[in-house]
Amino acid sequence: MRVRIRRVEASAERIVEDVVATEEPLEIRVASGGQTHPAAVTMRTPGNDFELAAGFLLSESVIRSREEIRAIRYCAEPQNYNVVTVHLEPGVLFDPAQLSRHVYTTSSCGICGKASLERVRAVCGMPVVQSDPLPATFFRSLPRLARAEQSVFARTGGLHATAIFDREGRLQLLREDVGRHNAMDKAIGRLLLDGRLPGSELVAWVSGRASFELVQKAVMAGIPVLASVGAPSSLAVDLAREMGLQLVGFVREDRCNIYTPDTRVERGV
């Protein structure tokens, strides 16, 4: 979105045109058993909305596989691109009470109210699939490779990103959003719809800090490694250790911090 602003600099100020990231609400609904239920409202950057809805429902344990999804559609009457309904296959039941305490999310903090490891344990279930060791040097190139694909961030400076890499360090996909949790949901939603989950041979990279919600989403997607540009939270570290996920923070081209037992990251150069 283009806006006119007053740019103040050391010696002068002027009126210029700036580009800011778009933020709009998206309501996610679930259709099951002949009824449609509201599941969540999230503030997001429009685009890849079907991926976002699918990834959100997977990370919240509403669905387990793409085979449980019959269709994903925008609201048709009236046409509304801020409302998405995920239609489940017959026999796939949805309990509205499952999300009744977590119905509103923001672009900054994700699902409000989910503040305990007990809740996350219940959602995550089993630990992620273990994988072979990765050299520490693997992580150093991720920010540069991801940055080259962050087209909207390059114009606005206002978006988070989640990138998915294979174990050879090749970028598989990247999604951007004003919400870091939305960017992750879009990425794992794409993997889900493409039939690429669980992602036991994949690595997730996030452009901001590593919150416990992002660890949860990686675990639900079966992705065993999560790397972040920023710091993890204490709950993120606790959950990663409990679930067997490799958590790496402060990833730079010359260093990184390993916050979980590094049995799956080789030491050395």
Per-residue b or e along 115-146, where b marks 16 or more CB atoms closer than 10 Å to that residue's CB: eeeeebeebbeeebeebeebebebbbebbeeb
pLDDT in tens, 122-168: 666 666 766 666 777 899 899 999 988 887 765 766 689 999 999 99
DSSP state of 83: E
Catalytic hit among 75, 109, 112, 124: 109
pLDDT in tens, 18-67: 878 888 999 999 999 899 999 989 999 999 999 999 999 998 889 999 99
CB 126 within 8 A of CB 97: no
DSSP state of 188: H
**Structural domains in the chain?**
24-124 (3.10.20.10), 134-266 (3.40.140.10)
Q: According to the model, what pLDDT value does residue 2 have?
A: 80
124 is catalytic: no
- What pTM, to 2 d.p., does this model score? 0.87
